Structure formats: structure tokens, C-alpha cells
């Protein structure tokens, strides 16, 4: 055997061995040693094959606009005090209006100068007057409102992706469907409700000072201006009963979770209960240090999505930027809370528009039917090739079998998901896989009719069909890439297997088939081709 042929045979055998090693965890996972199972994952099945959840979430983008207006109100109030501009109050009104109540025209001039410099995104709205006070009204520019809405959805998608990554779901589908909708598919999720709770939690973490108001008065609605009534949830360790205690906090937020750098689950050694330890970034640590230094002896409420988890008394100034959130969590609740805090809060609340759970039994039926379709299609192609091309058809069939093996192995190695449309792509590839061999064999027949020797006819057949095969497959590959880039989840699954199938078909038809022919031509004196 020539050196060139030996190298090519070794390459084919290496590819076959690597493919079988990659497929072993899928076929014989339980009987493999642990290091092998850890080294290579089995083929991941999509939502339609292994079950899971399908969600369509709607982002309340108007809440994002309101949150931006609230932050503008807070920033503006601080700047007015710093610039010694006399004003009565700053508030967010209806229909996205920020209103500033001033006493005289002199204050108006200073206010206009400040807004032009610090808040160019605000446009003037019709003013109103109430007695001696002048109320200046402003609203966000339309382009800024549109930017906030778009950014809210984009940020929600990224936040969801971070949460899903930490949740440990393999090959999720997460994409923006329309202006304010997000499609999420989570294959293999065993606890759909936990996933829904994790994804739907806004996770807006706030630190607010507790107001010195009797809870009884708060319940009756006797709240001082600038405060609001919330409830602190407590769980009895012995009975598990949940109680809610009213607590009055100031509207102004002292610190938000946007300044967090990390959140981890820890165990409280006193009660052997988990809690969430949080670390602030440099800016957050500085702000937390200032808040605790200025409010020693007062209570600081830790609030997540308008629920007070704890409201400890500040005993001393806290430097270093560390805090803890406790609330009689179990381990899973603490873990989920740490996940959403690390991933970041959603910029706006989300609502579930569509919730569908796919059962694994449906997936099993799909797998069986898909496998049956591949077997039937493959057997028909094998029979047709042997009937029409005889022993040369048998070579094409070996290449076809190796083609399917290589496709499945690449799916495992690339950690791509096999979906029902993906199985359709494999079925299509089975039909396409022999096209290249048909072109080559017809070329060989033409050369034999012209009186060429079998060896020369083989060389001419492979050589002349090469460019035609490349052209046909490259155009199909381009179409598959476009489908993957712009298609939705099911279309992408089809495009993935089709792309991999085309590449494997080129390799098996042009390279593997030629190696088999060359091997027999070198081992035996062939005077006639069975074609």
C-alpha cells in the first residue's frame, strides 16, 4: 500500500473512531466509565423531543418608562438642592409628565438652565398655575421614550439569558419575538413552576429607611407624605406558618441592587438556615457606608419586589460593602434568589402570555417516528444504489452509513440540540448524500463507454464531477446558513443538521468513497468495474 493511501486510510479510521467515541455516551451512557461520561456529553435533545417548557413573555415597557421618570425626579430633586434653587416639590404626574413646583420666575430661569444642561432628554409641556405657585411641566422626548422601551426588552432578554445560564438548562432557545415579547424554550426542565418563578421575578432589590410610624396607623391609611406601606414576610421555623407584618418605609430609595457585584448562598450557623450574602461594587460599597454611617440606630428595610425580607437596626457604620438577606429561606429559595440577584433585576415587570409544557412521552413518540423515517429512507436508498450501481453502489452505501454516523457525532461534539425538524434535516441529507456518488458514477460510466480503463475512468469520473458537486452543495449550504441566521427555533434545528449533513456528505462522497476504491484497486488487479 502506498504511503499516500495509508495516510488517507488512517484519516478515515481516525474519523470513524472519534465518531464512535463521541456517540458512545449517547448509546451506552450507563456502562461507560465516569471519566468518559464527563469528557463527552450525549446528544442533546430539543424541547420537542425530551419535553420541557415553552414560554412567551410580555415586557411591560411602560413601567420601564415610569422607572426612568422616577429616577429623573430623584436626580432632579437632589440637583435643585445642590444648586440652591428654591422649589416646593418635584413629582411624576400622569401621562409621563415630570412637574416642578416653584415660587417665582427667578427660580424658573435657574430651573430651565439646569434642565438644559443636565436633562436634554426632557421637553417642555404646558404649564399650570395654582394660586401663587407655578408648576413647570416636562416630558421625555419621543425618541428617548422609544429608546427606553427598546432597551428594556433587550435588557430583559440578556437578564433572562443570564438567569437561564445559571439555572443550568442545556441549549435553551431565547429570542425576541416582536416589540415587547420574548420567546423562551427550556428543554428537559423537570420543575416548570420553579423555572417560571425564576424567570418572571422582577428581582428589583431596594434599600429604604424605615419610617417611625405605628403599624396600626399605617393599616388605617394614616401615612405621612413620602412614605408607603409594605409588608415583611416571616416564616415560623416550627410550624412553617407565614405571617405578614406591616411596615412603613420612605418612598425614597437609598440604594438599589444595580450596584451589586455578587450574591452567594451562605448558612447561618445559629439557626442552620441558608441566607443570601451580597457584595456591592465600589460605588455601592461607598454609598452603603454613607447610609449606615448617617443612620446608626435606625432600621434599614431590604426590599425585593415590594416585599420586605428583613429590616434590621443599623448598629454601627458598615464598611466593606457586605450585607445579608435573610427570610427563613429553604435552600432552593435562597439559591434562586442568589441567581436572580447575580443575573440582575429586570428593567420592567414581565407577564406570561403563553405557557405550554411539552411532555417527554410526546418527545419519545417523535424520536421513534423520526428514527423509523430515517431507517425507511435509508433502506430505500441503499436498495436503489445496489440495484442500479451494483458493487459500486455498495461503496456509496458504506459512505452513506458513515455520513449518518459523522452527522450524529458532530451534533454531540458541538453540543448542538437534535430537534424534530433536525431529524427532518437528517432524512433530507440521507437522500442528498448519494447525489454526489451518482454524479461520480455516471461520469465513470461515460468514460468506460469511451473505452477507458477502469483505473483511468475512476480518476476521470472523480475529477470531472468534483466542481459540479462542490457547486451544488455550496449553494445548499448557503441557504442553510441563511435559514440558521434568520430563522426561528425549529427552522434553526433543521438548518443545523442540514449544514452538518452537507459537510459530511462532501467528505464521505468525495474522500471516503475514493479511498475505498483506491484500496481495492491497489490490493487487487481489477480489470472491470461493477458499475
Beta bridge partners of 262: 279
CB neighbour list of residue 13: distance below 8 Å, 6 or more residues apart: none
In a domain, 389, yes or no: yes
Alpha-carbon torsion, ordered 45, 47, 49, 50, to 10 deg: 80
Read off the pLDDT of residues 472-489 as tens digits, 9 standing for 90 and up: 888 888 888 888 877 766
Question: Same domain, yes or no, for 44 and 137?
Answer: no
Q: Tell me, yes or no, whether 330 and 245 share the same domain.
A: yes
Domain co-membership, 441 together with 511:
yes
Flag whether 326 is in a domain. yes
Q: Which cell goes with 258? A: 444595580
For residue 462, is pLDDT > 60? yes
Burial (Cβ within 10 Å: 0-12, 13-18, ≥19) of residue 480: buried
Q: Are residues 38 and 72 in the same domain?
A: no
Assess whether 304 and 366 both reside in one domain. no
Domain count for the chain: 3
The residue range of the domain holding 122 is 62-144
Rounded CA-CA distance 218/199 in Å is: 33
Residues 282 and 332 placed together within one structural domain of the fold: yes
Torsion of CA 161, 165, 169, 173, to 10 degrees: 30
More confident residue, 345 or 63: 63
Question: What is the total residue count of the chain?
Answer: 531
Across the range 316-336, mean pLDDT stands at 79
Please check whether residue 347 is in contact with residue 155, taking contact to mean a CB–CB distance below 8 angstroms: yes
Residue pLDDT, tens place only, 121-131: 888 888 877 66
Computed over every residue of the chain, the mean pLDDT equals 82
- Model confidence at 305, in pLDDT bands (50, 70, 90)? confident
| pLDDT given for residue 363 in this prediction | 57
How would residue 524 be classed by pLDDT, with cut points 50, 70 and 90? confident
Q: Are both 225 and 307 inside the same structural domain?
A: yes
Q: How many CA atoms lie within 13 A of 484 on its CB side?
A: 17
Task: Establish if 334 belongs to a structural domain.
Answer: yes
Residue 309 and residue 248 share a domain: yes
pTM listed for this prediction: 0.60
- 508 and 406 in contact (C-beta within 8 Å)? yes
Whether 485 maps to a domain, the answer reads yes
Which residue did the predictor score with more confidence, 170 or 523?
523
Domain-terminating residue out of 340, 357, 374: 357
Domain boundary pick from 357, 383, 410: 357
Tens of pLDDT along 271-297? 777 888 888 888 888 888 888 888 888
413 and 502 both lie in a single domain: yes
CB-count burial class (<10 Å; 0-12, 13-18, 19+) for 119: middle
Task: Answer yes or no: is 175 within a domain.
Answer: no
Q: What is the pLDDT of residue 220?
A: 67
CA distance 372 to 82: 75
Report the CATH number at residue 461: 1.20.1640.10
Q: What is the 3-state secondary structure (H, E, C) of 84-96?
A: CCCCCEEEECHHH
Beginning with the edge strand found earlier in the chain, give each strand of the sheet holding 273-280 in spatial order.
260-268, 273-280, 322-325
Confirm whether 125 is domain-assigned: yes
pLDDT at residue 14, as a whole number: 92
> What per-residue confidence (pLDDT) applies to 215?
67
Q: What is the pLDDT of residue 114?
A: 86
Q: Looking at residue 150, what is its pLDDT?
A: 87
Query: Average pLDDT for residues 397-402, to the nearest whole number?
Result: 88
**In percent, how much of the chain has pLDDT > 70?**
92
Residues 173-177 have a mean pLDDT of 80
pLDDT over 80 (residue 172): no
Mean pLDDT of 414-436: 79
Instruction: Tell whether 105 and 246 lie within a shared domain.
Output: no
Query: Given pLDDT bands bounded at 50, 70 and 90, which one contains residue 406?
Result: very high
203 or 500: which carries more pLDDT confidence?
A: 500
| Reported confidence tier of residue 101, pLDDT bands at 50, 70, 90 | confident
Give 356's pLDDT tier (boundaries 50, 70, 90): confident
* Mean pLDDT of the 85-94 span: 83
**Co-location of 353 and 380 in the same domain:** no
What's the mean pLDDT in 5-32? 85
Averaged over 510-518, what is the pLDDT?
A: 88
**pLDDT tens-digit series, residues 438-449:** 888 888 888 888
Q: Where is the domain boundary, 332, 357, 382?
A: 357
Residue 196: inside a domain: no
Residues 326 and 474 in one domain: no
Give a yes or no: residue 387 inside a domain. yes
CATH, residue 333: 3.30.1360.200
Is the pLDDT at 170 greater than 80? The verdict is: no
Q: How sure is the predictor about 366, in pLDDT bands with cuts at 50, 70 and 90?
A: low
Amino acid at each position: 500500500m502506498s504511503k499516500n493511501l495509508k495516510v488517507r486510510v488512517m484519516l478515515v479510521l481516525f474519523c470513524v473512531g472519534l465518531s464512535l467515541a463521541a456517540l458512545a455516551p449517547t448509546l451506552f451512557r450507563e456502562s461507560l466509565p465516569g471519566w468518559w461520561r464527563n469528557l463527552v456529553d450525549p446528544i442533546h435533545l430539543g424541547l420537542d423531543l425530551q419535553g420541557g417548557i415553552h414560554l412567551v413573555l410580555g415586557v411591560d415597557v411602560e413601567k420601564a418608562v415610569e422607572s426612568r421618570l422616577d429616577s429623573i425626579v430623584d436626580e432632579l430633586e437632589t440637583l435643585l438642592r445642590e444648586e440652591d434653587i428654591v422649589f416646593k416639590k418635584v413629582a411624576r404626574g400622569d401621562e409621563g409628565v415630570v412637574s416642578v413646583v416653584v415660587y417665582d420666575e427667578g427660580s424658573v430661569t435657574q430651573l430651565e438652565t439646569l434642565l438644559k444642561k443636565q436633562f436634554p432628554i426632557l421637553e417642555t409641556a404646558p404649564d399650570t398655575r395654582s394660586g401663587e405657585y407655578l408648576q413647570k411641566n416636562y416630558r421625555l422626548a419621543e425618541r428617548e421614550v422609544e429608546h427606553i422601551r427598546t432597551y428594556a426588552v433587550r435588557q430583559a432578554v440578556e437578564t433572562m439569558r443570564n438567569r437561564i445560564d445559571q439555572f443550568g438548562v442545556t441549549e435553551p432557545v431565547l429570542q425576541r419575538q416582536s416589540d415587547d415579547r420574548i420567546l423562551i424554550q427550556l428543554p428537559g426542565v423537570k420543575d416548570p413552576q420553579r423555572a417560571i418563578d425564576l424567570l418572571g421575578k422582577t428581582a428589583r432589590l431596594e434599600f429604604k429607611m424605615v419610617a417611625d410610624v405605628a403599624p396600626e396607623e399605617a393599616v388605617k391609611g394614616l401615612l405621612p407624605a413620602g412614605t408607603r406601606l409594605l409588608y415583611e414576610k416571616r416564616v415560623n421555623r416550627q410550624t412553617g406558618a407565614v405571617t405578614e407584618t406591616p411596615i412603613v418605609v420612605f418612598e425614597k430609595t437609598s440604594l438599589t441592587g444595580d450596584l451589586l457585584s455578587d450574591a452567594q448562598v451562605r448558612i447561618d450557623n445559629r439557626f442552620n438556615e441558608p441566607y443570601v450574602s451580597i457584595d456591592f461594587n465600589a460605588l455601592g460599597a461607598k454609598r452603603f457606608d454613607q447610609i449606615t454611617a448617617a443612620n446608626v440606630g435606625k432600621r434599614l428595610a431590604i426590599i425585593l419586589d415590594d416585599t420586605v425580607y428583613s429590616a434590621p437596626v443599623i448598629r454601627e457604620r458598615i464598611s466593606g460593602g457586605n450585607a445579608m438577606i435573610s427570610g427563613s429561606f429553604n435552600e432552593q429559595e435562597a439559591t434562586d434568589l442568589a441567581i436572580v440577584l447575580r443575573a440582575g433585576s429586570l428593567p420592567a415587570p414581565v407577564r406570561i402570555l403563553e405557557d405550554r409544557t411539552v411532555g417527554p412521552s410526546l418527545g419519545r413518540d417523535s424520536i421513534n417516528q423520526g428514527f423509523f423515517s430515517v431507517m425507511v429512507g435509508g433502506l430505500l436508498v441503499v436498495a436503489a444504489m445496489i440495484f442500479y450501481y451494483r458493487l459500486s453502489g455498495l461503496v456509496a452505501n458504506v459512505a452513506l452509513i458513515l455520513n449518518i454516523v459523522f452527522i450524529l457525532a458532530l451534533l454531540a461534539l458541538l453540543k448542538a440540540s437534535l430537534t424534530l425538524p433536525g431529524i427532518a434535516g437528517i432524512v433530507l441529507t440521507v437522500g442528498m448524500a448519494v447525489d454526489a456518488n451518482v454524479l461520480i458514477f455516471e461520469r465513470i460510466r461515460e468514460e468506460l463507454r469511451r473505452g477507458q480503463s477502469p483505473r483511468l475512468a475512476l480518476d476521470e469520473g472523480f475529477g470531472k464531477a468534483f466542481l459540479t458537486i462542490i457547486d451544488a452543495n455550496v449553494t445548499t449550504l448557503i441557504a442553510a446558513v441563511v435559514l440558521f441566521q434568520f430563522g426561528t427555533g425549529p427552522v434553526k434545528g433543521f438548518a443545523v443538521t442540514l449544514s452538518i449533513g452537507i459537510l459530511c456528505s462532501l467528505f464521505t462522497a468525495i474522500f471516503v468513497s475514493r479511498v475505498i476504491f483506491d484500496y481495492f484497486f491497489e490490493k487487487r488487479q481489477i480489470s472491470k468495474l461493477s458499475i
